[in-house]
Amino acid sequence: MDADHPEMPLQGRFVGREHRLAVRVYFEDTDLSGVVYHANYLRWMERGRSDMLRLAGIDQRAAHGAGEGAYAVSDLAIRYRAPAKLDDALVVASRLITIRPASCRIHQRVIRDGLILADADVTAVFVSPGGRARRQPAAWVEAFEQLVWPGVEQAKPKQGVKAGLTGE
């Protein structure tokens, strides 16, 4: 699990427009049977999205601290395809699919040795401190426009289909 490079930084890295984050399955991530508990995929995907934004130059902490707002997940659809198990080396691959004035949609996959274990479509809305949707900062939209995955909509892979981890 090197995400196409033996030196995967802690925050992951971009390969073309796709962000990749390495994750290891620890005992704490599994249930009694040694299979990863379903909610942990969501935790790993959140880390993937956060690190993708950070590497794209998006400072969520500063925006929140300045009272501008923060992202909130408004829609999430996830499909579990195969189980991850104790000590598996995984990659969380994140692709920005669409950008709108107040939201973005991200497609994410959790992959082991090229096999998609789970994939999700996530819509994150930028909200004011009062919880109302508002426009994202212009600089963020500009950064996102450089990362939107070509072809817009991604086909849903079938269970057991190998994941392409090539750049673009």
State the chain's mean pLDDT as an integer. 88
Number of H helices, E strands in the chain: 3, 6
Question: Residue 39 burial by CB count (10 A; 0-12/13-18/19+): exposed, middle or buried?
Answer: exposed
**Annotation marks residue 59 as catalytic:** no
Token pair 């408004």 is found at 74
Confidence of residue 21 (pLDDT cuts 50, 70, 90): very high
Residue 154 above 70 pLDDT?
no
Task: Compute the average pLDDT of residues 45-58.
Answer: 95
pLDDT, position 1: 44
DSSP 45: H
Q: In terms of C-beta density within 10 A (0-12 exposed, 13-18 middle, 19 or more buried), how is residue 80 classed?
A: middle
Band of residue 104 on the pLDDT scale cut at 50, 70, 90: very high
Catalytic-labelled residue, pool 2, 4, 31, 87: 31
Q: Could you tell me the pLDDT band of residue 53, with boundaries at 50, 70 and 90?
A: very high
For the sheet with 89-99, list strands across it. Answer: 13-15, 18-24, 89-99, 103-112, 115-127, 70-80
- Give the pLDDT score at 69: 94
